[in-house]
Chains A and B, each alone.
Chain A
Amino acid sequence: MLTEKKFNLIIVIGIFAFSLIGYVMNEPYFITLATKIVILGIAGCALNLILGFGGMVSFGHAMFFGIGSYVAAISAFHSMNGDSIDLIFFNFNGSNQMLFNWFLAVIFSMFFALVVGSISIRTSGVYFIMITLAFAQMTYYFSIGWTKYGGEDGLSTYVRNDLFSINTMLPLNFFIICFACLCVVGFILNWIINSNFGNFLKGCKENEEKMISLGLNPYTLKLTAFVISGAITGLAGALYVDLNRFVSPTSLSWQTSGELIVLVILGGSARLFGPLVGAIVFILLEQFIGEVTENWQFWLGLILVLIVLYFPKGVSGLFIKD
């Protein structure tokens, strides 16, 4: 059994080592897998801020993931094609700079999180689950019909965006960029969870009445957490576009929201990096059972059921001592 800090360190180093092994063995696909784990891990950890610590089960986080993806992809698309978007005050030419597109993705997903959150947080429990789903489904159907950016066919950006003078098309370079994002996000989330704000948020999950009697406003607290969570999920979405050089409405579908929740629960929702562990387990299982049998979904399902029944604290609960 380990302390949570040591455990987190081992996980993060483990992911890095996994991609280095891929590099040394000349198996770039290992690096791609590690990158995918990191990106979905970021989204999962962001979801866990509101789900595990704030008690808000969002079944619509694909919305922020997808909006982040689409914003980054649309910006790159316009930059590549050289046609500009006519905004009333100026023409936006798009950009192929990662930092700028991340910034746009974060701003847009924050904005949507603010709107959706301010309506959804008035409900709770299953109703909260479903109202977040409702908003995500609306964006999903919108994106399917929006033919300007490909509709159901999705949008290709062909190459990855640029970051300084790094060659982002090399798998290891792109992995390191994503890994750096994960570290930054990890520090920020860790800081939030252990701050006063984080304690109040956990308090809201336990007992809202008590928070009100302390003179706090649970609505504002929860909304703030929701917006932060949406913003980070949007960042993960932007990274995912660069990984695949492509975005499609699938990113906005309820299946994606469901998978993010599965990552969180599988890894353990009480832990900062639980979802990252969930991403490791889920993606590796999917990969390796898929190599062995065509009916991999059956075995994956069976393993997931066993994990829920016998390891209620998720996979990370196996290793961490309280």
Chain B
Amino acid sequence: MSLQLFIEQLLNGIQFGFMLFLMSAGLTLIFGVMGLINLAHGSFFMIGAFSASFVAGLTGNFFLAILASLILPALIGIMVEFSVIRKLYERDHLDQVLATFALILIFSEATRYIFGAFPLFLDIPNLLQGNILLPGEIVYSKYRLIIIIIGLFIALGLYFLINRTLLGIQIKAGQNDRQMIRVLGINISRLYTIVFAMGAALAGLAGALIGAIQSVEVGMGEPVLILAFVVIVIGGIGSIKGALIGALLIGVLDTMARLFLPIFFELIMETSQALSLGSSLASMSAYVLMALVLIFRPTGLFGKK
């Protein structure tokens, strides 16, 4: 394998990592601030993709579609927070699991009812089609490069938001000590609504960006949700930095395992077995990494003890 190809694959891994980060950031924020396990986060991913696809079909404008993927999930997020989620903060994690599992059923079936059973269309704009030549003769997809850049911006934006703004101070206060924000006289329920809507919007954005290069269909959120949980657990729950590092680790590991494990096993066994075993192990790699991290650091890389 040439060096260029290796670097391209490394970029692919990083890009996959940033995709996961977009999804995980909202999840870890909601968990960190409100202590809520939100299984329905994947549904916002799906809602984002569907609203983008719908708006793109209507207007033909990708940027309006992206805007819709932020606004609609946020609005639905606010509605759900008001009607259901709000009653769950004081409850056991288990009640949250059951309620948000039920929300998945509701959202998936409602989406299918509205948009039908077949996948929808969403494509990237012509401007971003094709490749770009990076220094060192590396050919790389323009759109994937954009995803990396958006991911970086959002990581920086969240860092700025949490460390430099009033809302961020409130969020941090909420993470450290829920009593304290009450004492400080902060309107908690408003803070919670804002954080939940923000998480939903981030998931929706991820859904639209990823939907444009994958398939927009009912149930697209759940596989990503499971990986996003893996990411935030590796990073340590509640930590945005942890989510970023966890996402990049998983992205790169998964890509490299897919590439190299079959090649590696081919050295020691017969080809067809090697291909099958290699790809089985590659599918497991994210989970193996998570188990290893938790064995040595039971609260993740950046989690609080």
Contact = CB atoms under 8 A, between A and B. Distances in A.
A touching B, CB within 8 angstroms: yes
Interface in A21-57: 51, 57
A304 B99 CA distance: 7
Given A142-B280, A297-B109, A298-B113, A265 B94 contact: yes
Interface string A298-309: 101111110111
Contact of A312 (B91, B237, B276, B287): B91
Contacts of B284: 137-138, 141-142
Interface string B65-82: 000000000000000000
B97 A261 contact: yes
A141 B94 contact: no
Interface string A301-322: 1111101110010000000000
Nearest to B234: A130
**Which among B84, B99, B110 has the highest number of chain A CB atoms within 10 Å?**
B99
A268 B110 CA distance: 28
A126 B237 contact: yes
Interface in B131-153: none
Interface stretch (B55-63, B165-173, B185-193, B293-301): B293-301
Contacts of B102: 300-305, 308
A269 interface: yes
Contacts of A146: 280
Nearest to A116: B291
Nearest to B291: A134
B181 interface: no
B248 to A, nearest CB: 18
Interface in A107-132: 119, 122-127, 130-131
B106 A302 contact: yes
The A interface is mostly helix, strand or loop, or mixed, namely helix
Interface string B91-113: 10111011101111110111011
A190 interface: no
Contacts of A264: 94
A122 B99 CA distance: 28
Given A300-B102, A304-B105, 6 more contacts: A133-B226, A137-B226, A138-B284, A261-B98, A300-B105, A301-B105
18 contacts: A119-B295, A122-B295, A123-B299, A127-B294, A130-B290, A131-B290, A131-B294, A133-B229, A137-B284, A138-B287, A138-B288, A144-B280, A145-B277, A265-B94, A295-B109, A301-B106, A307-B98, A308-B102
5 residue pairs, one from A and one from B, having the closest CB atoms: A301-B105, A145-B280, A304-B102, A298-B109, A301-B106
